[in-house]
Amino acid sequence: MKKCIIIMNPASGKGKNQDKIKNIYDILRKYDYNAEIKYTNKKHHAIEIVENLDDDIDLVISAGGDGTLNEVVTGNLKRKTPLTLANLPLGTTNDVGNMYGLRGNILNNLEEILKGKKKQIDVIKINKVPFVYIACLGDYIDMAYNTPRDLKKKYGKIAYILYGLKQLRNKIHKYDIKYKIDGKEYTGNYSFIFITNSSRVAGVDDIYYDVKLNDNKFEVALANVKDKKDMLKMLVLINTKDLKDIPGITYYQTDNLEIEFLDSPKTSWCIDGEELKSSKMKFKFEIDKRTTMLMPRENIKKLFENEK
């Protein structure tokens, strides 16, 4: 039988999937996998687990939220020989899982993954730190990682709204930056910076209508938001327009980006829903193509180039 390791975050999804563990083993055996579950118990634990797995593992499944997937991918890229990965979403928002077409219950999703297809995906790095689908910076972004875990367990997605409402009285900061894309240098004053390789962010589908996960490109959106009224207007438009078509957004698609802040950022970067603390003023973004995912077939044609 093939060997499968499941990296499971027991805190994801309010911890409501523990009763399905036996069924998970049964499904994996059905597809000729001998499985073992390894539970995470601290921040960055999944990185350590994956980095130290044996080379003969056929499949590593990230069972948790987008942050758990980030750690699994990060640990895998630290290996001399990366392993094949899969994403089984158990978290609160599950942006990546939803983008892949995994919207059912955990057992149905597992079946869809195991019937799927291996695809190489682009993973972006910010100063050599990988992220799967988003790196962003700006006010209120901290909702993703500062919303209390007990609030998320109790209220799910609504917890982010409850936490965000408390922050609305804060003013919106702006950042003077120099940036370089495809050899050309620019300057600007922006309130939000979004670097993405995803069609879904923060629970909003189709923020871009034609994202490809293997085109050696990522999307850059620099937002010039003047005040809270302007921000709320932009949030409404995101639900009806492609992000690059919204007024106040400067958009690029590239495989390389360098950003230099002229003043120290007042907030941290958020990567895949987790805080990235850094005292640096310069950030370089580039693509790593060493990650292979076992994908459900639902959205493969939509998400990959040259897919029949």
Q: Is the CA virtual torsion 298, 81, 44, 27 positive or negative?
A: positive
CATH H-level, domain 2-126+290-303: superfamily: Probable inorganic polyphosphate/atp-NAD kinase; domain 1 (3.40.50.10330)
The confidence band for 160, taking pLDDT boundaries of 50, 70 and 90, is very low
> In the predicted model, is pLDDT for residue 158 greater than 50?
no
The architecture CATH gives domain 129-287: Sandwich (2.60)
pLDDT at residue 202, rounded to an integer = 80
The string of pLDDT tens digits covering residues 134-143 is: 999 987 665 5
Residue-wise pLDDT tens digits, 57-115: 999 999 999 999 999 999 999 999 999 999 999 877 789 999 999 987 899 999 999 99
Domains 2-126+290-303 and 129-287 share a fold: no
Of these ranges, 8-12, 74-78, 238-242, the one predicted with the greatest mean pLDDT is: 74-78
Q: What is the pTM of this model?
A: 0.88
Per mean pLDDT, which of 205-209, 239-243, 251-255 is the most reliable?
A: 251-255
Q: What is the 3-state secondary structure (H, E, C) of 110-169?
A: HHHHHCCEEEEEEEEEECCEEECCEEEEECCCCHHHHCCHHHHHHHCCHHHHHHHHHHCC
Q: What is the mean pLDDT of residues 161-172?
A: 56
> What is the rounded distance in angstroms from the CA atom of residue 100 to the CA atom of residue 95?
9
Q: Which of 301, 299, 273, 307 is nearest to 102 (CA)?
A: 299
Q: Where are the alpha helices (DSSP H) in the chain?
A: 21-30, 45-51, 66-77, 95-100, 106-114, 143-146, 149-155, 158-167, 228-238, 300-303
Residue 15, SS3 per DSSP: helix
Q: Tell me which amino acid residue 20 is.
A: K
Q: Taking the domains of the chain in order of start, what are their residue ranges?
A: 2-126+290-303, 129-287
Tokens representing 183?
């050899």
